[in-house]
Amino acid sequence: MCGRYTLSAPDPGTLRSRFGLGETVAVERRYNIAAGDEVLSVVAGDHGAAATRLRWGLVPHWAADRPSVGPSMINARAETVCNKAVFRSAFERRRCLIIADGFYEWRRLEEHGARAPKQAYWITRADHAPFAFAGLWATARTPQGEALRTCAIVTTAANPKLEAIHDRMPVILDAEAEGAWLDAASGTDELRALLRALPDDAIALRAVGSTVNDARYDGPGCLEPPRPAAIAAPPPRLF
């Protein structure tokens, strides 16, 4: 967690206005963003915040010759982000906003036994507005001399509404906290205070069908409701 998310509903104009994206970065609707994808982000620069694209799955500068580590580094735990070696430098100096409007989580259907299927849920803000995950980013130089810019999403303990589905959830920043998250002058205590779960009444969730399970599919079908369970036919009468 968080392993997939969306940027499905807002039109480009809404997102450009909400996050000050400008016109230099393409904005497209996404329904099934997965590890290794290029994701819409905002980073702090010398001339203020700037929109960019980062590859989801953080590769620290000292692992530039091992880009395959990225998929295992899509998330950073809020509880250890400031002291774990792979994330510490990014937490101190390279924080970012990762723009989204929802994320997915899966719950195993325990009543079906040990090999039970999982039910997917789509989780959004209750007001369905776009938002920003708290993110970290890094730049590494590959052996071929190319700059590899990657990111991770910070997660925290799930709120009570979600913990029955999963014990973790991504940190969704309040709009008024986004500037502080990007600000190089923000102190460790101030930053850690931002890494909390949204309250129950600030989120909404609904079940979706199994289409989202295929990370290769990135269409609106991911958000369709699950099909009704097949109704078993009654046994034939023998007499």
Active-site positions? 2, 105
Q: Quick one: tokens of 44?
A: 């702090």
Number of residues written out for the chain: 239
End-to-end CA distance of the chain: 54
How far is 208 from 124, CA to CA, in rounded Å?
A: 13
CB 192, CB 171: distance < 8 Å: no
Other Cβ atoms less than 10 A from the Cβ of 209: the count is: 15
User: 101: buried, middle or exposed (CB in 10 Å: 19+, 13-18, 0-12)?
Assistant: buried
